[in-house]
């Protein structure tokens, strides 16, 4: 059986499973559509949360960014994991105890203001739409290679699949679909990593293989990789850059994670507050299975790429164009990978043109520059099995896993968007007397509209999947996270403070992103084409979240101090959410 047929069968069976689950778990009420009837088991919810959390950014893009940057991009791992702990400890149990369906609903009730609720909806929409672009982009990349279609066609296919099972099943269907998607994605991610770790180090556990001896050189794997990189004029893989920027980006991802509405609403689906805490614990276990493997995948893939195409480094012969490996030829068709023989010598050079001694060596040998002109980071994990020459069924499995990761998170985001529009705008603001049937209809219409918008924006993403997601985290850090934290832990915070805090955080962060990315004004502009010359204090757009959060906190604090305190019943509400009065009663709510 040829590879294409195998890919179609494996991916087709996974899609049939997702749609079948959605039909079986079809939402019949708003409670089932928004919160799965609050009847999800904590272990099941933990697995679904892990799938919701581990998006295309985690599965497809993160290892690619680590592979090509090295230690610096370990910030993605630290920030996302640390942020999840922050959310589980400081937000999720309290929000579940509040007992509502959505994040804007909490904001509106806690701050006794429809205006606060509407501002929270606007923040949620900006965050979720930005985030979902990365998922649709990742799905398009996976489809473009494994089903041999253009990334645009792949994007349309992914949109159609999500439309069927998300619109039909709501949170109830999405929850059980995400359980299936987690199983697919974790198996797909782990099996190639085990094979490759065995090939390179003889150790079947990738996380341990990363620190084991390379079978070819007899040196530690990371030492071997560092040597190859320095030979080509690049910095060592294990070298970090600015501690200040790494810390700022990690913080942005952490507090952004804690403010993500599509993950927070997962904790509304369990029966009790205690179940929310257990869900968080199980989700961390399931997330760790992939996150402990990702650094090894990135390092080993980078080593495989370099030794496959440039086996003797810059001092040896570069690979002839006709001898490029098969995986390179197949991925070149997608337009996401490419070389250019700039000097017409029939060989492909790869080196850092600005690296030590490279200019002199290039002049001596007649090289015209780095001839690897395109390597989209999002293809690395998906191409990994082919680079390592693994069996065809492993390649098909990685295709299904990549799509599962992208679609699971896309569904969660779309649900958050549709819930905000149907429940927090249409029902709560414009038509409070709407029937449950009509509200459910509007929830599905809203989700369909969100899918169309996400597909359109996914055609012109501002960067790689993980980078686009990082922008969403920055927006969440600057808007919803401070508002939720102050709403839970400060009885003095009032509606005026919350409203102006969110507005300032959203506007300042958005303006910074718009200014330095350009994409929002010029579709197709990639963030990597922008320079850091004019960044404010050298802060990249992806790192700006904590600055927006500080401004949010500060504005909210001073405005609340200058205006009237919240009503006593609101202060009592805050105390009842944060401080249980009778353990048994609190846990049973």
- Would residue 369 count as lying in a domain? no
Lowest-confidence range among 220-229, 252-261, 309-318, 383-392?
A: 309-318
Query: What total number of domains does the chain contain?
Result: 1
**CATH at residue 129:** 1.20.1730.10
Q: What is the pLDDT of residue 525?
A: 45
- The DSSP line for 121-189 is HHHHHHHHHHHHHHHHHHHHHHHHHHS---HHHHHHHHHHHHHHHHHHHHHHHHHHHHHHHHHHHHHHH
The residue-averaged pLDDT of 43-61 equals 80
**Is the confidence at residue 346, as pLDDT, over 60?**
yes
* Average per-residue pLDDT for the chain: 81
Q: Which residues contact 50 (CB under 8 A, 6 or more apart)?
A: 182, 283, 286, 287
Band (pLDDT 50/70/90 cuts) for residue 205 is very high
- Would residue 355 count as lying in a domain? no
Cα separation, 228 vs 307, whole angstroms: 9
**Is the confidence at residue 371, as pLDDT, over 80?**
yes
- Would residue 328 count as lying in a domain? no
Distance of CA 47 to the CA centre of its chain: 16
- Would residue 378 count as lying in a domain? no
- Would residue 351 count as lying in a domain? no
**pLDDT tens for each residue of 307-326:** 876 666 665 667 777 778 88
The residue-averaged pLDDT of 430-438 equals 84
Neighbour-count burial of 449, counting CB atoms closer than 10 A to its CB (0-12 exposed, 13-18 middle, 19+ buried): middle
- Could you give the percent of the chain with pLDDT greater than 90? 18
* Structural domain harbouring 75: 3-300+386-588
- Would residue 326 count as lying in a domain? no
- Would residue 503 count as lying in a domain? yes
- For residue 273, CA distances in Å to 3, 161, 188, 571 come to 48, 33, 33, 21
- 3-state SS class at 372: strand
Indicate the pTM of the whole model. 0.79
- Would residue 260 count as lying in a domain? yes
The residue-averaged pLDDT of 101-122 equals 90
**Is the confidence at residue 241, as pLDDT, over 80?**
no
């Amino acid at each position: 059986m040829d590879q294409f047929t195998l890919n179609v069968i494996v991916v087709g069976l996974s899609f049939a499973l997702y749609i079948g689950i959605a039909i079986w778990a079809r939402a019949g009420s708003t409670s089932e559509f928004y919160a799965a009837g609050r009847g999800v088991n904590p272990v099941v919810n933990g697995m679904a949360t892990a799938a919701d959390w581990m998006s295309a950014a985690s599965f497809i893009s993160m290892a690619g960014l680590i592979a090509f940057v090295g230690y610096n991009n370990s910030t993605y791992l630290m920030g996302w994991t640390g942020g999840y702990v922050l959310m589980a400890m400081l937000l999720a149990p309290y929000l579940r105890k509040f007992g509502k369906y959505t994040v804007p609903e909490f904001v509106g009730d806690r701050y006794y203001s429809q205006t606060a609720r509407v501002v929270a909806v606007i923040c949620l929409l900006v965050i979720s739409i930005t985030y979902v672009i990365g998922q649709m982009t990742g799905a398009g990349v996976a489809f473009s290679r494994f089903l041999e279609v253009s990334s645009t066609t792949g994007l349309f296919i992914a949109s159609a699949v999500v439309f069927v099972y998300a619109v039909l099943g709501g949170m109830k269907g999405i929850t059980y679909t995400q359980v299936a998607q987690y199983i697919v994605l974790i198996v797909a991610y782990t099996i190639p990593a085990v094979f490759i770790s065995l090939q390179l180090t003889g150790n079947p556990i990738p996380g341990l293989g990363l620190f084991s001896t390379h079978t070819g050189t007899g040196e530690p794997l990371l030492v071997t990789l560092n040597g190859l990189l320095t030979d080509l004029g690049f910095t060592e893989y294990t070298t970090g850059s600015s501690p200040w920027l790494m810390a700022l980006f990690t913080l942005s991802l952490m507090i952004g994670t804690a403010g993500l509405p599509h993950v927070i609403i997962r904790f509304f689906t369990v029966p009790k507050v205690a179940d929310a805490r257990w869900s968080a614990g199980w989700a961390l276990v399931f997330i760790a299975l992939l996150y402990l493997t990702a650094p090894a995948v990135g390092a080993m893939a980078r080593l495989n790429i370099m030794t496959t195409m440039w086996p003797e480094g810059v001092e040896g012969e570069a690979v002839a164009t006709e001898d490029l490996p098969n995986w390179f030829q197949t991925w070149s068709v997608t337009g996401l990978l490419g070389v250019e023989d700039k000097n017409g010598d029939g060989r492909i050079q790869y080196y850092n043109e600005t690296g030590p001694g490279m200019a002199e060596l290039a002049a001596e040998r007649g090289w015209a520059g780095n001839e690897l002109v395109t390597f989209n980071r999002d293809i690395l994990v998906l191409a990994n099995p082919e680079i390592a020459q693994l069996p065809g069924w492993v390649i098909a499995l990685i295709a299904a896993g990549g799509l599962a990761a992208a679609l699971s998170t896309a569904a969660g985001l779309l649900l958050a968007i549709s819930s905000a529009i149907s429940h927090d705008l249409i029902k709560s603001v414009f038509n409070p007397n709407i029937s449950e049937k009509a509200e459910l209809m509007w929830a599905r219409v809203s989700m369909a509209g969100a899918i169309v918008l996400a597909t359109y924006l996914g055609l012109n993403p501002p960067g790689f999947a993980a980078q686009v997601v990082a922008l969403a985290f920055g927006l969440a850090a600057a808007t919803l996270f401070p508002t939720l934290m102050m709403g839970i832990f400060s009885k003095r915070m009032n509606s005026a403070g919350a409203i102006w805090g969110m507005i300032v955080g959203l506007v300042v962060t958005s303006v910074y992103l718009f200014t330095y990315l350009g994409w929002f004004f010029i579709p197709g502009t990639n963030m990597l084409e922008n320079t850091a010359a004019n960044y404010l204090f050298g802060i990249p757009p992806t790192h700006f979240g904590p600055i927006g959060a500080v401004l949010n906190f500060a504005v909210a604090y001073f405005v609340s101090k200058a205006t009237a305190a919240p009503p006593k019943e609101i202060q009592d509400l805050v105390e009842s959410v944060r401080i249980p009065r009778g353990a048994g009663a609190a846990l049973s709510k």
